[in-house]
Amino acid sequence: MIAIPIIIIVLFLLWLFLIAPKKRGEMEKFKKVHYAHRGLHNAERAENSMSAFKAAVDGGYGIELDVRLSKDGKLVVFHDDTLDRVCGREGKAIDFTAEELATFKLNGTDDGIPTFDEVLEVVGGKVPLLVEIKENAGDSSVSKAAAERLKSYDGPYIVESFNPLSVKNAASILPEVACGFLSRHFTKEEETKKPLYFLLENLLINRVSNPSFIAYKHEDHYMPMLKLARLLGARTIAWTVRSPEEEKAAYEHGFATVIFENYIPEEK
């Protein structure tokens, strides 16, 4: 009978070990930054466009953006796996060169898909960046290329990804930079009711990525593992908040700051 409580205690301690955040990277100067989701975009300025990034810089907001690779191995800033939603054409970013992608207009605007270098140049360290690495399982090319490029960037930034191995790769190249894990309540949806997604949503692969922070979907604030990780010292960022009311609720639920779109947040 004594063995059962001991087993329960051991499993609980193992559980805490698996989800506990690692205290690495500087987060204090980033925890109160409002991050404009894919830049400060609206009906006239497309997401992840140079116009949206310039607007965010002018407004003094941090910028969340997405990086992936083009066919010729250059880092480009684009969110989706495919081009149809934003560019109205078939294929993926990896199917085209950076020069070709620059000619694909974003949401009917004059902006094309920018390179990461172009974005870094226009931001120029004026506002903090939250760089999301878009990388498939088993691939490390994007995380390594992005981290190597960021090593020479003279400005404030942190890095995040849904892929724990991408976080690990970036952190190994950028040991002094805060690298975080993105997650949400995956298994409430039928297509993601799989063991891997259960581990991801419950932060049970934290020991792989050793995140400095956790970015979690703000509607899923009720997840027990998120609350427990926060009690263990995790900094948490809410994504994606779309109104002042949602922002207020995010703070009430314990998030340190927000990734926002469709409204202009007030100073905290």
What letter represents residue 181's amino acid? F
Concerning whether 79 is annotated as a catalytic residue, the answer is: yes
Active site residue 41: no
The one catalytic residue among 37, 185, 218, 221: 37
Phi, psi for residue 17 in degrees, rounded to 5: -60, -40
Using CA atoms, how far apart are residues 180 and 203, in angstroms rounded to an integer? 12
User: What tokens appear for 233 in the block?
Assistant: 């010292």
Among 34, 41, 79, 221, the active-site one is 79
197, containing H or E segment: helix 195-201
Residue 110 burial (CB < 10 Å; 0-12/13-18/19+)? Answer: exposed
Euclidean distance between CA atoms 161 and 170, whole angstroms? 10
Give the span between the Cα atoms of 15 and 85, in whole angstroms: 40
Interior/surface letters 26-49, b for 16+ CB within 10 angstroms, e for the rest: ebeebbebbbbbbbbbeeebbbbb
Catalytic residue positions, numbered: 37, 79
